[in-house]
Amino acid sequence: MATESSTLAPIIATAAKKFASARDIHTVGDLLAFWPRRYRTRESDLGSVTPGEYLVGVAEVKSASTRPMRGRKGTMLNVVITDGRHDIDITFFKAWGHERVLVPGARGIFAGTVGTYNRRLQLTHPGYTMLDDFDAGNRKALIPIYRSVGSLHTWTVTESVRRVLEVLDEVPDPLPAEVRERRGLLSRMAALRGIHTPDSWDEVEEARRRLRYEEAFVLQVTLAQRRRTASGQVTTPRPVRAGGILEAFDERLPFELTSGQREIGTTIADEMARDVPMHRLLQGEVGSGKTVVALRAMLAAVDAGGQAALLAPTEVLAAQHHRTITELLGDLAQGGMLGGADEATRVALLTGSQSTAERRRTLLDVASGDAGIVVGTHALLQETVDFFDLALVVVDEQHRFGVEQRDALRGKGSVPPHVLVMTATPIPRTVAMTVFGDLETSTLRELPAGRAPITTHVVPEDRPGWMSRTWARVAEEVRSGRQAFVVCPRIGDDDVVDEGTDLRDEVTDEDGEPPAPARPLKSVYAVHAALAEEPAVSGLSVEVLHGRLPPEEKDAVMGRFSRGDLDVLVSTTVVEVGVDVPNATVMVVMDADRFGVSQLHQLRGRIGRGSHPGLCLLVTGSDAEAATARLEAVAATTDGFELARLDLSQRREGDILGAAQHGRRTQLEFLHILEDEDVIEAAREDAFALVADDPELSAHPDLAAGVRARVDAEQAAYLERG
Ligand code: ADP
Ligand code: MG
């Protein structure tokens, strides 16, 4: 008998080599996790077959004839197969003995790419197996169809899986019997049989239900354990101190905190005052004021004698945060300097592209504790970075960082620091429960009062007059004292997109024409040049910004734009996150159809931040219906939660799980994060209860093994990415 770790060769002989080379499938367990893509019933419908399709169908031989090849040696075999209503021709240019098998009345499964000849559908040299042979061991009503495995025929795959199931011992089951019973779920063994050798659709569904639950459950146990470990850690309490920098900051704030900001601020302060490290996710609508919330937490850390680090995903964003924080703090950021306030600290910036001298100075400030706040990119994670006393880690725009990076930064404290994670955009509840399931969640639901609304329009670029009208609107805004962003998907003409750009494949309509040749994407430099020729905007100051500019130049351009010395900024998506220029009121997004929905929403969040109404123009040259529909959706609502759902529904699950969970083995096969809310909730409840009772899973060795396998795979995927 075999177990899941048995190798395949002794069981399925020669096919084992193909599985290994084509699909990296080596063990029984690997093969059993090679899930059927779909199922085919015994009855095929040859009427719905279209040219180009890969057909796997059950049919009967209606007629067969051989004839000599014209002018060549050998015999050609022509067969007609039928499902009883529709026929397809089969041609073998050499009969090779097929004529002895494919005789009228014989039934088989045929597989091949459908072509046409003389306006009739035809299979040339298809693979086939006769049902008499196949049925001997497989009388199932449904035939599972797998992804192709090199040159193996689909039924060889089916047969191999069936063979493996025959010799398989009872498999370990990560789901505890109690959970299985209470939730009415199949055992793992029954589920494997149900998915690979079902008798009915009901069996398939029950098997899927069980496997879906298992995925959710193992994931939630992993998260529950992470949380449990974290809550067992001891850290230094950082209670709020009266008369410190936080109080001074609050007094200087030019606006009232929203009630959400205040409430979450209290929650964070309470958690930081405890000796268990905080692990909190802060999410909220674009422009809801997350930065201020995070900054107040950082100041509390400084008041408590510690340091705070802010980890940003890009250099531009790190620089922007550094500037914003420095400005918000004013003289409170001039610690040790002439003119600095008494309670003042210093805000350091650490990025990969700094000069050695600059870097050395910053590292000293960080190590001595003179810098109370340290903003940086992943350069912060390097070993040479030594904190004097790291009290709080704030991770901005978490979706670009993995759990491992969070851990790396967390390891920089002498005791585990408190952690606050900010997401760029609001995330649906189920995503919060899975991707960020080890964190407590706070959500900023309201925007600060007095925000002017943003109007969004889709601009078809090839409609006569629309583009010049677009530029005219930009000029109008500038003339009334405002500023404008123009965002492009590329930097120059060499196809380079910028760091952090999230481009979609060109969207073509489902069953329309074959995809049109890709349109060249608008580049920052091309648009900058075009604007120089555009009469509507003549006389305006226009500059470019993208991630490849030298850091000083980026800073200088951003500085000019922030101060209002620059009318129009033509840039890549470097302005996507965080960039805060309240006087900017127009945004033109070129090739908008090529950006993801959330990215567009995020981009749009750069305008309408002040008291003047914002205008966002989504320019597209695509007339694909799906692309237009997506843009219309962005134009129709500013509800980030709704758009996040829409965006995520268009991605693969692996992308939703994010960097932390990439890798072949860790992708979810059965669980759909957006749709399976009930499953995720139920699994979470069961998992957290179980871990509370048995944190080490010592009474559940099979579950422990399942969890370990998942965690190992995640780590392997992380190491692979480097
Ligand atoms: P996001 O949540 O998108 O990161 P920010 O923190 O960047 O939002 O805040 C957006 C803008 O709103 C900033 O200019 C910030 O100074 C301002 N802001 C934050 N909180 C308030 C408030 N309570 N009242 C008025 N303006 C605020
Ligand atoms: Mg922000």
pLDDT in tens, 105-141: 888 888 888 998 888 899 999 988 887 655 544 556 6
How far are the Cα atoms of 64, 220, 576, 618 from residue 579, in angstroms, in the given order?
A: 72, 35, 7, 19
Name the packing angle between helices 188-196 and 201-231 (round to 10°): 140
Span 410-462, pLDDT tens digits:
777 778 899 999 987 788 888 888 888 888 999 998 888 878 889 999 999 98
Is 2 inside a domain boundary?
Answer: no
Residue 322 beta carbon below 6 angstroms from any ligand 1 atom: no
Distance 669 CA to ligand 2 centre (A): 33
Which has the higher per-residue pLDDT, 340 or 196?
A: 196
Residue 536 clears pLDDT 60, i.e. is over it: yes
* CA–CA gap between residue 428 and residue 674 (Å, rounded): 8
Residue 128 β-bridge partners: 110
Residue 287 beta carbon below 6 angstroms from any ligand 1 atom: yes
Most confident of 293-302, 489-498, 645-654: 293-302
Q: What is the pLDDT of residue 663?
A: 34
Q: What is the pLDDT of residue 177?
A: 96
Distance 311 CA to ligand 1 centre (A): 19
Domain boundary among 638, 671, 694: 638
Residue 402 beta carbon below 6 angstroms from any ligand 1 atom: no
Residue 668 clears pLDDT 90, i.e. is over it: no
∠ at Cα 687 (686, 693), nearest 5°?
A: 90
Residue 85 clears pLDDT 90, i.e. is over it: no
H or E element that contains 231: helix 201-231
Is 414 inside a domain boundary?
Answer: yes
Nearest to 721 by CA among 642, 627, 647, 658: 658
* CA–CA gap between residue 338 and residue 325 (Å, rounded): 19
Residue 608 beta carbon below 6 angstroms from any ligand 1 atom: no
Mean pLDDT of 162-177: 93
> What is the residue whose two structure tokens read 């599972």?
144
Residues 284 and 329 in one domain: yes
Residue 482 β-bridge partners: none
Domain containing residue 40: CATH number: 2.40.50.140
* CA–CA gap between residue 94 and residue 308 (Å, rounded): 76
* CA–CA gap between residue 351 and residue 314 (Å, rounded): 9
Count CA atoms within 13 Å of residue 133 on its CB side. Answer: 10
Residue 587 β-bridge partners: 485, 616
Percent of the chain with pLDDT over 70: 89
Residues 579 and 613 in one domain: yes
Please, which pLDDT band fits residue 294 given cuts at 50, 70 and 90? very high
Q: Which atom of ligand 1 is nearest to the CA of 294?
A: 6
Residue 302 clears pLDDT 90, i.e. is over it: yes
H or E element that contains 455: strand 454-460
Report the C-alpha dihedral over residues 489, 494, 495, 501, rounded to 10 degrees: -50
Q: What is the pLDDT of residue 174?
A: 96
Would the pTM of this model clear 0.75, i.e. be above it? Answer: no
Give me the number of domains the chain comprises: 4
Residue 314 beta carbon below 6 angstroms from any ligand 1 atom: no
Domain boundary among 638, 666, 682: 638
∠ at Cα 558 (375, 298), nearest 5°?
A: 25
Residue 72 gets which letter from DSSP? Answer: S
Q: What is the pLDDT of residue 509?
A: 41
Is 571 inside a domain boundary?
Answer: yes
Ligand 1 mutation target, pool 292, 395, 427, 442, most atoms within 8 A of CB: 292
* CA–CA gap between residue 187 and residue 173 (Å, rounded): 7
Q: How far is CA 306 from the centre of its chain?
A: 34
Q: What is the pLDDT of residue 129?
A: 83
Please, which pLDDT band fits residue 202 given cuts at 50, 70 and 90? very high
Name the packing angle between helices 701-721 and 403-410 (round to 10°): 90
Q: What is the pLDDT of residue 41?
A: 72
Which has the higher per-residue pLDDT, 190 or 672?
A: 190
Residue 505 clears pLDDT 80, i.e. is over it: no
Contact 644, 429 (CB under 8 A): no
Q: What is the pLDDT of residue 70?
A: 72
Residue 288 beta carbon below 6 angstroms from any ligand 1 atom: yes
Could you say which ligand is closest to the alpha carbon of residue 285?
1
Residue 289 beta carbon below 6 angstroms from any ligand 1 atom: yes
Domain containing residue 584: CATH number: 3.40.50.300
Q: What is the largest CA-CA distance in the chain?
A: 102
Residue 718 clears pLDDT 70, i.e. is over it: no
Residue 597 clears pLDDT 90, i.e. is over it: no
Which has the higher per-residue pLDDT, 354 or 376?
A: 376
Distance 630 CA to ligand 2 centre (A): 24
Distance 290 CA to ligand 1 centre (A): 7
* CA–CA gap between residue 272 and residue 10 (Å, rounded): 58
Q: What is the pLDDT of residue 458?
A: 95
Residue 233 clears pLDDT 60, i.e. is over it: yes
Residues 585 and 628 in one domain: yes
Residues 425 and 488 in one domain: no
Please, which pLDDT band fits residue 508 given cuts at 50, 70 and 90? very low
What is the per-residue burial (b if ≥16 Cβ within 10 Å, else e) of 396-428? Answer: bbbbbbbbbbbebbbebbeebbbbbbbbbbbbb
Residue 467 clears pLDDT 70, i.e. is over it: yes
Which has the higher per-residue pLDDT, 250 or 147?
A: 250
Mean pLDDT of 143-171: 88
Residue 661 clears pLDDT 50, i.e. is over it: no
Residue 448 beta carbon below 6 angstroms from any ligand 1 atom: yes
CB-based contacts of 575: which residues, under 8 Å, 6+ apart?
Answer: 316, 485, 487, 545, 569, 603, 606
* Three-state secondary structure call for residue 501: coil
Residue 612 gets which letter from DSSP? Answer: S
Q: How far is CA 409 from the centre of its chain?
A: 22
Span 13-32, pLDDT tens digits:
888 999 999 999 999 999 99
Which residue has a Cα nearest atom 15 of ligand 1? Answer: 289
* CA–CA gap between residue 380 and residue 386 (Å, rounded): 9
Domain housing 206 = 177-232+653-718
Q: What is the pLDDT of residue 436?
A: 83
Among 286-295, 378-387, 698-707, the range scoring the smallest mean pLDDT is 378-387
Residue 609 beta carbon below 6 angstroms from any ligand 1 atom: yes
The token duo for 209 is 């239900």
Span 468-502, pLDDT tens digits:
999 999 999 999 999 999 999 999 877 666 766 66
> What is the residue whose two structure tokens read 């039928």?
82
Contact 369, 336 (CB under 8 A): no
> What is the residue whose two structure tokens read 């922007």?
320
Domain boundary among 402, 423, 444: 444
Which residue has a Cα nearest atom 26 of ligand 1? Answer: 448
Residues 407 and 265 in one domain: yes
Please, which pLDDT band fits residue 368 given cuts at 50, 70 and 90? very high
Residues 201 and 312 in one domain: no
Mean pLDDT of 295-302: 97
pLDDT averaged over every residue in the chain: 86
Ligand 1 mutation target, pool 253, 255, 285, 394, most atoms within 8 A of CB: 255
Residues 209 and 257 in one domain: no
* Three-state secondary structure call for residue 633: helix
Is 238 inside a domain boundary?
Answer: no
Residues 200 and 271 in one domain: no
Kindly give the pairing relationship between strand 307-311 and strand 75-82: unpaired
Distance 661 CA to ligand 2 centre (A): 24
Residues 170 and 185 in one domain: no
Distance 255 CA to ligand 1 centre (A): 9
Q: What is the pLDDT of residue 514?
A: 44
Q: What is the pLDDT of residue 171?
A: 92
Is 319 inside a domain boundary?
Answer: yes
Which residue has a Cα nearest atom 1 of ligand 1? Answer: 287
Percent of the chain with pLDDT over 90: 48
Give residue 569's region: left, alpha or beta (phi > 0; psi -120 to 50).
beta
Residues 196 and 170 in one domain: no
> What is the residue whose two structure tokens read 């569904």?
205
Residues 220 and 115 in one domain: no
Residue 580 beta carbon below 6 angstroms from any ligand 1 atom: yes
Is 284 inside a domain boundary?
Answer: yes
Q: Which atom of ligand 1 is nearest to the CA of 257?
A: 23
* CA–CA gap between residue 642 and residue 709 (Å, rounded): 35
Mean pLDDT of 597-624: 88
The token duo for 591 is 């090739």
Over its C-alpha atoms, the chain yields an Rg (Å, rounded) of: 31
* Three-state secondary structure call for residue 193: helix
Please, which pLDDT band fits residue 143 given cuts at 50, 70 and 90? confident
The token duo for 713 is 């795979």
Q: What is the pLDDT of residue 667?
A: 67
Please, which pLDDT band fits residue 39 given cuts at 50, 70 and 90? confident
Span 234-257, pLDDT tens digits:
999 999 999 999 999 999 998 999
Residue 286 clears pLDDT 60, i.e. is over it: yes
Q: What is the pLDDT of residue 719?
A: 59
Please, which pLDDT band fits residue 391 given cuts at 50, 70 and 90? very high
Residue 81 clears pLDDT 90, i.e. is over it: yes
Distance 604 CA to ligand 1 centre (A): 15
Is 343 inside a domain boundary?
Answer: yes
What is the per-residue burial (b if ≥16 Cβ within 10 Å, else e) of 593-616? Answer: bbbbbbbbbbbbbbbbbbebebbb
Residue 610 beta carbon below 6 angstroms from any ligand 1 atom: no
Nearest to 166 by CA among 11, 23, 20, 7: 11
∠ at Cα 609 (604, 613), nearest 5°?
A: 80
Count CA atoms within 13 Å of residue 585 on its CB side. Answer: 19
Is 646 inside a domain boundary?
Answer: no
* CA–CA gap between residue 132 and residue 107 (Å, rounded): 8
Mean pLDDT of 593-601: 87
Distance 30 CA to ligand 2 centre (A): 43
Distance 285 CA to ligand 2 centre (A): 10
* CA–CA gap between residue 616 and residue 586 (Å, rounded): 6
Distance 282 CA to ligand 2 centre (A): 11
Could you say which ligand is closest to the alpha carbon of residue 292?
1
Contact 470, 484 (CB under 8 A): no
Residues 688 and 669 in one domain: yes
Most confident of 29-38, 230-239, 260-269: 260-269
Residue 452 beta carbon below 6 angstroms from any ligand 1 atom: no
Please, which pLDDT band fits residue 36 given cuts at 50, 70 and 90? very high
